Every structure is written in structure tokens, then in C-alpha cells.
Structure 1
Amino acid sequence: MNLPALVLCAGLGTRLQPLSLVRAKPALPVAGTPLITRILRWLESAGVSRVVVNLHHRADSITRLVGDGSRHGLKVRYSWEAEILGSAGGPARAIPLLEADRFLIVNGDMITNVDLNALAAAHVDTNALVTMAVIDGRDGYNGVIADHRGIVSGFGTAPGASHFIGVQVVNASVFAGVDVRTKSETVHGIYPSLIAGRPEAIRVFHSNADYFDIGSVPDYLSTAMAIAGRERVPLDRGRDGKVAATAVLTDTILWDRVSIGAGARLTQCVVADDVVVPAGAEFSRASLVMRENRIVATPF
């Protein structure tokens, strides 16, 4: 794999709030390993050696984990966005750092094992400008409409639409006219225009790969539970925390420096950094964060 990769990590993670107010979404722990670390390991295993990560929200939570990439066998550079530039503006701004005519774009909020080398080969074979990795359609979200040849005609909900999993190979020329000073999008922006000008510009790459989306708190918890079960590891218990012997935790994730008091009962909760759960407290299906020295529980 001689393609560099751009990992999109600049988003606010709005659907994951309040957790994403504490850490950027790619920095969330998943069964003992941060999401961004899982993505970088997967890229390295496919032969990727150069990565650019775009940053905006809670950038420090990502850079602490990634550094210069050497711990993952990669060379990592950062594309800083003072204002979020979107799924088209972000790549356009990162192109000088990528230093390639063709590159991977990977969303920073998912886990997959799609074959990147096969994806890259398909992109070259079809002479496409964009090749999007898809799986069988789910609920219409991230829907891609393509014919039997894999040529994309549009996006949205439709019978037989496939589900885009946030992994694609693109030619740098696709972003040639994008203003890097303002926000712009791909699927809901430049891609429809690309299709209008060249009907065979965008193709799909069908895959049976595993795919886990971490778009919302329920998605995050269910993904963490699935990965923990598959890898036979416990759900995250964080670092430097204290859990009373009589506390009962069921399907619950703890981040760092968490304190759980005696007799507390937590069921299907995510407890963010530095939260102190008092003795006897009970929470179910809630995100717990600290605000002004008090615990704030947000149901999900």
C-alpha cells in the first residue's frame, strides 16, 4: 500500500455529547484501546506508512495518543482547522501534507476491517475519481445509490441502497476547486456535482467487512461491548480510578480517574474522566460527566 491516509478527526461529535465535550470522539476508549489507536493499527497493518490527521475539537486528546505516529510504525502529520472545514474542505486543506495524487480518507469514528489494498486496486482498475467502501444497506443512513456496475448515481434512501462505511480512495483532483477557507461537504456538496459532470466518476467497493459506527452514545456502548466480547477483554475501567467493593457495575464503561462509592449501582452507563459517583447512587443508561464539581447524568 503506497497510498497515504487522511483520518478525519476534526468533528464536534455532537450526537455523542456530553462525552465528546470531554474527549474528541476518536480518543474514546473501546475495550481497552482508544479508537484512533485502533484505526492507526489497522492502517499500518495494510501497509500504510504516512498519515495525516485533521484536528479541531479537543485536539489535545488525540495528539496525546498519536504523537508523531512512531509508536504505531507510522509517520503522522496534523492538519489544524481553526474552523471546521467539513468533509470536503478538510481534505482539500490537507492535500499539501498528503503529498499524493491519490489517497485514502478514513472517518475517525468507526471500526472496520475492510481490505484497503483491494479497495485501492478497485479504484485504479475502474479509473474512478472516488471509490467508496460500502456494505449492504442498513436503515438508509449514509445511503449510496449505485447500479450493478458499481457506478454511483446519488446518495440517500432508496431500495437497494448500500451503506457507506466512511472509508474511500479519492484522487486529489476532486478537491481542486474547493475553497479551504470555508466549510464544504462531499456527499452533500461536491460529489453530486462531480457525478453531474462525469457520470462514472464515483464508484462503490462492496465489502462484507465488519463495521461499527460510534456516532452516538448507544452506538459507542454497543460497539465497546461487542469488541470486548470478541477480543475477550473487559469493558474499560480506566486508569487511576477507585471502585468500592460493594459497587455494582453492569455493562458500564469507566474512563480515567473515576471514583465509584460504596453501594452505587450503574447499569449501561458511560462514566467520563474525573467523575465521582457518590455512595448509594443509582444510574441506568446514562452518560455521566462532571460540571462545576457536580455530577451531570444525561439519559440515552
Structure 2
Amino acid sequence: MTRIRHEARYLEIDGALGYVEQAYAEGACVEPPGEGVPVLCLHTAGQSGVQWRRTTEELAALGYHVIVPDLPGHGRSEPARTGPVEDLAQYAQWCQRLLTALELERPYVVGCSIGGKIALELAVRAGGELAGVVALAAEAGPGRVNVAGLRREMQDLAAPSRSDRTYLGTLAVVGSAVPPATAELIATMHRREDPAVSSADLIGWGTHDVRDALAAVTCPVQLVAGQDDLWLDVERVRRTAEALPHGQYELLPGVGHYPMEEVDGFAGLLDGWLRRLSRDRAAAG
């Protein structure tokens, strides 16, 4: 039986403490891509690395070095010194500093929702330093959200209905193939979010745009959309993949906005995409 080693620590990044968990197999070797290949896993708006709780150990058992941070202001990480972050490029810069602090070379980056957009931002900024990117539930253009409404909401975040809206909104975007008990658990976990942080994240979702930079991305990118995802226009996700020099697109039937929480055995699915990225990078020279 493969033994998985877990580590958790705080790192000071940009003047604040960031929380990061790591997992890897002791004595395991999987080829390709091989033992210890780092995979940075990024969470969705307002949430934390806990969203990867059912993926981390299984992915580590496949031979990967899994890194799961809480972005600034999320989970156990301290807030950014400048307050809630509305520019997803700021999160991408934070991730670059995290990877440098951990001395990780040629990582894969996997993210969902704003995490997927941050992954695309990293592909634009530092594609030559990445093994590849998997962007779940994300497109290159601005996400579909009422930015003006969110800015107004930032003035009144104490409304008691906010937690209920998060809960019901999460249920609405979980895929039709997800068992009701699993959907209930996902929604219950999500209502823990900080309203100020999640609203700022969604402003970032609605304003982030890297469409003009896609042609220069050098690393392979896998775009993934859930067929039942009400947050996305899946055609825009497909077009993002087509605009990339080394882009792939896959649509998941019956899946919504949170594949890593909705799909049983998601680590195996992710492993398949990472292996494809490895082959694509080798083919590209």
C-alpha cells in the first residue's frame, strides 16, 4: 500500500502568512510523468484548498507532488495587505512567489473557476516555466457576472441572506449527475466563505481577460467545462482552447461548476489530462 506523506505550513508572501498543504507518495514511482512532479491546485471564488480534499491523496498516490494553497484571505491564509483582491493577476503573482518559495520547478497548474482563470494567467505570464495547465470551469474572457452589482453589494455584506444565497447558488450550479447527498455536502461546505473576499473574487472573475495574449502561450493547456455549468458559456471555453497554440477542450456531461468535488475518482481523470499535457509538451519539443 502506498504511503502518503502530508505536510502543512505557513509561508510569508507579500507581507502576510499564506497556508499551504503538500502531499506526496513515499517510495512510489509512476512513469510518465514520474515521481514527484509538482501539481499546484487552486480553489474557486471565496473557498479554500479544502475543495481538493477528495483529490489530494489519490493524486499523490499516482506519483505527483500535490500543492494545495489557500489564496490570500481564504481558508487559513491571512488577507492580502491591500485588502480583498479584485485583480486575479495579483493572485497569479502570489502563486509565482509561492512556487519560488517552495523551490518547485516545471510544475503543472490546475485551477477551477477563478482558479482556472488564475491558471490561464500563469500560462500567459510564465508558460515557459510550467509543464502545463488544466483550467476547469474557466474561459479567457470576462466571466458572466454583474460587476456593478457586486460592487454595490460590497457596501452591505452583513445581510443575513448572504450565506443562504451562497448555499442555494452552489446547489444551482452542481451537475445533474451528482447525487443529492453529495450536492448538499458541497453547498454546505461552500457557505463558510467570507462575503467580502468572495465578492472581490467574483469581481475578478468578471473583469479578467487574457484573450489577446493566448497566441503567445508556450505551454500546453487543457480546458475543461461541465455541461451543466450555469456560470459558463461552454462555447467560449471551447474557443479559448482553439485560440491557444497547444490547447485541448473537453466537455463533461452531467457535471457543473466544481468537477473536483462532483466527480468520483476525479484524481484519475486529472491524471489523464496531465499525461496528455506531458505528451503534448514532448511532441512540441
TM-score range relative to shorter protein = under 0.3
Q: Which has the higher helix share?
A: 2
Larger Rg: 1
TM-score by length of 2: 0.27
Tell me which of the two structures has the higher relative contact order, counting C-alpha pairs closer than 8 angstroms and 6 or more residues apart.
2
